[in-house]
Structure 1
Amino acid sequence: MATVVVQQQPQVRQSTTPPPVGPTLTLNQNRSSTPIPNKHLPYCPPGPVPSQGQITPPSSPPLRNVAPKASSLLHPPNNYTKLCNSPPIYGISANGLAEALEHHASQPLPNPTSVFPWLHGLHPENSIQLAFFVARKKSLRKIPKGLRGITIIKAGGDLSRSRIKGAVAPDEILNLSDSNGRGFLECDPREGFSVRNFHIQAAKLALVSDIVVYGDEDTDHRIIKSVAERTASVQRRWRKELEGCGQTPETFNTFVLTQPFEDFEQDYPQMVAIDAKGNYPDHSLDFLQQERREMCAMSKASEISRGLFQGPSPGPYTSPPSSLDDPDFDLYIEASDHAALPDENVLADKLKELEDPDRNKPVHLSFPSSGSILPPSWSQAEVDGILRMCSWLHSLTHATRPAGETQDKDGDVEMTEFSPRSRRVLLHCADGYTETSMLAVAYFMYAEGVPVHDAWIRMHREKQRNFFAYPSDVALLMAIQDRILQESPKFVGTKVPDVPAPTWVSKLDGSLPSRILPYMYLGNLTHANNPEMLRLLGIRRILSVGEPVTWTDAEVKSWGPENLLMVDRVQDNGIDELSPEMDRCLEFIERGKSDGTATLVHCRVGVSRSATICIAEVMASQGLSFPRAYCFVRARRLNVIIQPHLRFVYELMKWDEQQQGKRGKTPKRELEWAVVAREIAAMNRPYART
């Protein structure tokens, strides 16, 4: 039986001197990091500090079966040739490395409770972080036992080609600030509080990893040797430091790949992230590219009204890949921040281009992006420009040519009825929805003769478009609604019916809940507290994760208490767990799917707790690995970037193991924890506030 918790509505890195290692490439270099337009990282409040002994839910393994201690083919290193005694360095073949990586990927991750809060980053001088996570339990600052990884360093640091999956540059884990090589990079933050320190995880895992060093064909062997020697020395120094603090650390070793990268690439292509030519193999999972593929799949061009299509700008990520010269459309309209409203002369010139019989390429036009016409400062001329564009587009997409005179080959005049020649128009922008939404909604209102609220719902449900509009667009469209309808071809010669705006519109800020799957939406608390809008979207069930809705008794009774589920005592604080609740949540979502209805999953902001549940459902129902499910959901969360914190992401990787087991497969990670965290950090860096 679903538990219902509802707040009632209140009133108100030879002997001759080797080349210097030098600083190398940083996290985001040599990869495209252009952010998706208009996405942003919202602030996620961590919630209250748990009282001593009252961490919620109770601290316990999130999975019923405690994972056995993981093993490694690199430890002990008895089967590998020792290349150097002091410091100890071992040689490893391409086959040896491949086997070690395969074996490691199939070893279960330690349970979250054994590695957190250490993975959050507990610097001894960061009083805020220590006070929140450790309190009087100093043992929590110690390196977790049983945690053993494999870190791969590419000497030279050029990660734009010849990159083994998961490889990092030396300066991502080694301190290269002086010639002595002071040690591992100090990665724990000295100040501030965060449960989303994804950027430190590669360095954190290097502390508990055997490290393999390799280079490409252009890397001087002396550089490879220098990096390996420094790494082995740092490992030995780090172990002595821990022993001096009373800890009994495990022994980790340094290895050097004894075969060239080309051999590794030829024999084990599935373990190559970027080949020797700098290309991403088809199997390679790069989060940024995967996000764009998913974005284009989600917002794939579709017809919103006769002849007018909305979708992403043509490019390599559309399916199939396309370009702005593709003849699929007669006219491409790009919504841009730099565009001006086209006047009558511009539109007339574009029409001539479209009618030019010698032209064999599409015509291009730009239009102001959403959010660029701001009330109350917008002018009547801007409104005229919007209506002029709507009328012009309608005439293109509904054009028919009247009967006309032509001459046959004998010179006789005959009357010929030309077939209709309506145009196909693509209204596009980078993400396929944000920048184009204002014009798309305005045109839909004009062409279909419907008010704002009907346009919002019909475009989403009937046209299956996911879209976001700025609050200023909502205000603008509401203000000019009457004029749009008065000039609509739907009401030529007839009176425009007076349709009052429903009450749910007053709560509309431009965003609708994000449709992740046909039966599951992801949203925020504001969405959850607009039941009238949710019902119109086909949502009949509410899953509240840590944040109760404020509904009236009548609203609860109307929906039925069994259609509301509250997951209580889960804050976005890096301490509280969600794994114990996942089965219950997914069963609730599944019941809605079976009933033919949709479920809204929400927390406060709709990016962490609720996003975690949605990712779990995508993994379970679509059979996707965590990295792919993460990108799937991230692309579909409109306007804002999902941001499950470190512990939730780790829990989802454990959930991935569990799901593979349920499907009768031997659990195997597609990407390791440090790689996943590094990818997320690289994706988010363009959006981070500096």
Structure 2
Amino acid sequence: MATIALPRPLPRYRSSSPIPTLSTHSINLEGINTSAACPIPIPNKHLPVCPPGPVPSEKPDTPPASPPTKHVKLQPQSLLYPPTNYKKVTHNSSAVYLIDAAGVAAAVNHISEQPLPEASQVFPWLHGLHPANHVQQAFFVARRKALRKTPECYRGVTIVKADGNLSCSRLKAAVSTEEFLQTATAEFKDIDPREGFSVRNFQIQAAKTAMLSDIIVYGEDEKQVIKIGSDIARAQRVRRQGLKALGHEAPVYHTFVCTSHFEEFEEHHPEIVVADSRGEMTGNVLDFFHQERVEMATMTKASEIARNVWLGPTDDLSMSVPSPEDEPFDLFIECSDLGRANVPALKNIARELDSGAETSQYVEFPSSGSIMPPSWPLTEADDIVESCKWIYNLANGIRPSDDEEVTDIEGDSPMPSPTEARTSRPRKILIYCTDGYTESSMLALAYYMYAHGVTVSEAYLQMHIDKRRNFFSYPSDVALLNSIAPSILSNSPALAHSAPQDITQRIHDEPAWLSLMDGSLPSRILDYMYLGNLGHANNPDLLRAMGIGQLLSVGETAAWTAADIASWGDENVCVVQGVQDNGVDPLTNEFDRCLAFINRGRLAGTSTLVHCRVGVSRSATICIAEVMRAQSLSYPRAYCFVRARRLNVIIQPHLRFSYELLKWEEMMQVRRGEGVKRELEWGEIAREIAAMNKPYSR
């Protein structure tokens, strides 16, 4: 798809990464203080555009206009309602209730065990339906005014830190008053967007659920806590009066002020402490930023792709102490937008290492996607081949008889001789980039072709399948590698005894799927499940070459020929129809059928490609649901798991799909014979997703 395959523009400036100290041992992430590390966005990712489809017709799953049923009105139970067990005090004519640390912890734990209302009962209200936003109103509710009403079936618990500083002394799901309260007038903010259309208003969910919650205020300054508590109580009263004036029923919500100091939470209730009083992350509450990096580190851990040549990420995460058997890397090759191929530098490094240099050496190389056709100069293409040659020499302990560059009469390097003496110690080399799967892909593929004597298509498949590397490349990388394949293979030591015409024939016989590929392979989420776009689905030969034998189409249909369908078999194709990415169409009722189809493929020893149009919303929702089922993960953990493995393309299940997945978490727990116990609440999940996506929003 075009949204995924666009060449990556080069930034004006980006500082190079420091020389890493990465080794081959396991990664320890326990010590990361995400309060400092999290704001840094992961490079190369982008948010694709997801078309919502046509304006939806009336759906049977939307709540009836009137009369509302008892089921719709039913609220989850809460320890805070009614507040008969708490002391009531009045401040500035507003009633608040006193609660201690034990009461706060009990209320937070109890609300996580209460089933949430069905998605149809809280949507489209959660999308944001500002009266002045005619586009949003027309799309979601048209003439059905009942859908604009505030849900009466939701009762949550919102935690507010009085001083608004969430970098320390932070409780689970805590927010600041700035996120939902007009402090000057002590009224709830009019948070719904006044213009534009979106089914991904994650940034307003914490504020919207605060309006449907009993609210607890905590902090060290008692006067500040009681003042903010009374302001919030006033805002609740004003909002309730406003809803009644419109003829809407308005549940009563209350405000509580915590009388305990934060140290009591740290000592007796650490399970709800996110950051301690020193600002250190406790690890007791899931942090999305940290979890995404855990998943990325697991996925991109350095591994060997050829003898003594490893591929991995920049060491920007804390590392465990290396074991005695770990050998350090002798040479680090950083691939970046600012890098340039530097063959003389590689030659000098070879001399220095042979001269007994004890420190690791460092060299740069161009990033994937940075060399664009047809602008690449022949010298740059030649430098790629020469770089592969010298990397191979270093990794295999080969020292050519003459350090000076030797060329034949046509200016090409001579074929390698199998009799060259191994006169130096083989060196351990790491090819790396920041994320471990994007900027280094072009060099890794080129070197793999050179070292193993394989074609472009074989390098893609073997790197992914045999070497178990997840990587992302651009269409320009495919074009570049195809262009220099004759030179790479003609100089490959693995093909030293092959006839030139045989090499030419192998290149000529490249499969047709290579020319149809947009640069990237489908994303491997689990060994038996891939996530991709419509372009991947329309390349059945590629899927078959990757060991994918089933196709699950969610809301979109692949343009296969009758011959394609016949060769795959009707039983290996499953289509979910009538689901647009519009924030209205439900997907939960398709989960069981889709996951059964995926599991059928797993039991048959094959993989399934799950796709929609772009591969980030409808199909990503199905993949998250399967990860939750197969690995017994909560929705937040499964979301981070899939997000990391979709590589450069950021998954974007819209609000309703995300809420349905949170309900799916409850359903999975019930099916496993467990009680309902959400790891995080809806407002906090949406808030974290909004924060993760903000650096990439256009």
Same fold (TM over 0.5): yes
Structure 1 residue 357 corresponds to structure 2 residue 356: yes
Contact 2:530 2:610 in 1 (8 A): yes
Q: Which residue of 2 aligns with 1:180?
A: 185
| Residues 624 and 29 of structure 1, relative CA distance in 2, 3 Å threshold | closer
Equivalents in 2 of 1:32, 1:140: separation in Å?
38
Structure 1 residue 100 corresponds to structure 2 residue 77: no
SS state at 2:192 partner = coil
| Correspondent of 2:586 among 557, 574, 577 | 577
| Other-structure match for 1:603 | 612
CA distance in 2, matches of 1:322, 1:658: 42
1:230 aligned partner: 231
Equivalent of 2:87, from 64, 77, 81? 81
Please state if 1:433 is matched with 2:434: no
Distance 1:303 1:169, change over 3 A: same
- Whether contact under 8 Å (1:82, 1:89) holds in the other structure is yes
State the Cα deviation string for residues 352-400 of structure 1 (Å, max 9, x = none): 44335362x4222221111111111111121122112101110011116
Q: Does 1:371 align with 2:369?
A: yes
CA contact (8 A) 1:310 1:426 kept: yes
Partner Cα distance (2:491, 2:37) in 1: 48
Instruction: Please say if 1:125 is aligned against 2:159.
Output: no
Match of 1:340 in 2: 340
Does structure 2 retain, via aligned residues, the 8 Å contact 1:30–1:159?
A: no
Q: Is the 8 A contact 2:532 2:612 kept in 1?
A: yes
Contact 1:314 1:321 in 2 (8 A): no
Q: Distance in 1 between matches of 2:321 and 2:191?
A: 40
Describe the SS at the equivalent of 2:215.
strand
Is 1:34 equivalent to 2:40 in the alignment? yes
State the partner residue of 1:472.
476
Structure 1 letter corresponding to 2:356: P
Contact 1:316/1:322 (<8 A) preserved: no
> Do the aligned residues in 1 keep the contact of 2:63 with 2:121 (CA within 8 Å)?
no
Separation in 1 of the partners of 2:610 and 2:422?
Answer: 53
Could you tell me which amino acid in structure 1 is paired with residue 292 of structure 2? E
Instruction: Give the AA of the match of 2:387.
Output: M
Q: 1:67-466 maps to which residues of 2 (within 5 A)?
A: 69-84=75-90, 86-176=93-183, 179-181=184-186, 183-216=187-220, 220-316=221-317, 320=320, 328-344=328-344, 346-357=345-356, 359=358, 361-399=359-397, 421-466=425-470
CA distance in 2, matches of 1:420, 1:393: 14
> Amino acid of the residue matched to residue 340 of structure 2?
A
> Per-residue deviation at 1:290?
0.7
> Distance between the aligned counterparts of 2:459 and 2:607, measured in 1?
20
Deviation per CA, 1:134-168: give whole Å up to 9, x if none. Answer: 11110111111121111111111111111001001
For residues 112-139 of structure 1, give each alpha carbon's deviation from its aligned partner in whole angstroms, at most 9, with x where no partner exists. 0100000000000000100011111101
Report the Cα offset of residue 322 of structure 1: 8.1
Q: CA deviation at 1:419?
A: 9.4
8 Å contact from structure 1 (residues 332, 428) kept in 2:
yes
The Cα offsets for residues 191-228 of structure 1, whole Å up to 9 and x where unpaired, read as: 00000000000010011111111124xxx333223221
CA distance in 2, matches of 1:655, 1:664: 14
Determine which of 624, 634, 640 is the counterpart of 2:643.
634
> How far apart, in 1, do the equivalents of 2:109 and 2:669 lie?
16
Q: Secondary structure at the match of 1:273?
A: strand
Match of 1:368, as an amino acid? P
1:337 maps to amino acid = D
Instruction: For 2:352 and 2:154, locate their aligned partners in 1 and report how far apart those are by CA, in whole Å.
Output: 66
Q: Give distance in 2, aligned partners of 1:610 and 1:449.
A: 37
Q: Quick check: 1:401–1:421 contact (8 Å CA) kept in 2?
A: no
Q: How far 1:233 moved relative to its partner?
A: 1.2
Could you tell me which residue of structure 2 aligns to residue 542 of structure 1? 551
Equivalent residue letter for 2:141:
V
- Corresponding residue SS for 2:175: coil
The secondary structure found in structure 2 opposite 1:150 is strand
1:67-93 Cα distance to aligned partner (Å, 9 max, x none): 974101011111111232520011100
Could you tell me whether the CA contact under 8 Å between 1:343 and 1:385 is conserved in 2?
Answer: yes
Work out whether residues 472 and 521 of structure 2, in 8 Å CA contact, stay in contact via their aligned partners in 1. Answer: yes
1:557 is aligned to 2:566: yes
Partner SS state of residue 551, structure 1? coil
- 8 Å Cα contact 1:522-1:611 kept in structure 2: yes
SS state of the match for residue 106, structure 1?
A: coil
How far residue 29 of structure 1 moved from its aligned partner, in angstroms, is: 8.9
- Gap regions ≥5 residues in structure 1: 1-27, 403-416
Q: 1:615 to 1:60 in 2, by over 3 A?
A: farther
- 8 A Cα contact 1:201 1:674, kept in partner: yes
1:505-547 deviation digits (Å, cap 9, x = unpaired): 1111111000000000000011001000000000000000000
Contact kept, 8 Å, 2:347 with 2:390, in 1: the verdict is no
CA contact under 8 A between 1:292 and 1:317: conserved in structure 2? no
Partner of 2:675: 666
Could you say if the C-alpha distance between residues 442 and 571 of structure 1 is closer, same or farther in structure 2, counting changes exceeding 3 Å?
same
Moved more, 549-558 or 115-124: 549-558
Going from structure 1 to structure 2, the CA distance change for 1:581 and 1:356 (only over 3 Å counts) comes to same
Read off the aligned partner of 1:37 and give its amino acid letter: P
Whole-angstrom CA distance in 2 between matches of 1:508 and 1:674? 39
One-letter identity of the residue aligned with 1:637? R
- CA distance in structure 1 between the aligned counterparts of 2:357 and 2:542, rounded to whole angstroms: 50
- SS of the residue corresponding to residue 157 of structure 2 reads strand
* Change over 3 Å in CA distance of 1:31–1:134 after alignment to 2: farther
Distance in 2 (CA, whole Å) between partners of 1:643 and 1:329 is 38
User: Which residue identity does 1:391 align to in structure 2?
Assistant: K
Tell me by how many angstroms 1:493 deviates: 4.7
What does residue 49 of structure 1 align with? 55
Q: Residues 117 and 449 from structure 1, CA distance in 2 versus in 1: closer, same or farther, beyond 3 angstroms?
A: same
1:613 Cα deviation from its structure 2 partner: 0.3
Q: Do 2:393 and 2:399's aligned partners in 1 also have CA atoms closer than 8 Å?
A: no
Query: Cα 1:358–1:367, aligned 2, differ >3 Å: closer, same or farther?
Result: closer
Structure 2: any 5+ residue segments left out of the alignment? Answer: 1-33, 65-70, 401-420
Which residue number in structure 1 is paired with residue 664 of structure 2? 655
Verify the 8 A CA contact 1:315 1:321 in the aligned structure 2. no
SS in 1 for 2:84: helix
Please tell me the residue identity of whatever aligns with 2:148: R
Determine if contact 1:274/1:284 at 8 Å carries over to the other structure: no
Aligned with 1:522: secondary structure?
A: strand
For 2:152 and 2:165, the matched residues in 1 are separated by 33
Structure 1 Cα separation of the partners of residues 566 and 346 of structure 2: 54
Please give the TM-score of this superposition, normalised by the length of structure 1: 0.88
* Structure 1 residue 569, shift from structure 2 partner: 0.4
**Closer/same/farther in 2, CA of residues 38 and 481 from structure 1, 3 Å limit:** same
Distance 1:118 1:317, change over 3 A: farther
Residue 534 of structure 2 is matched in structure 1 by 525
Structure 2 Cα separation of the partners of residues 608 and 46 of structure 1: 10
Distance in 1, matches of 2:697 and 2:516, equals 29
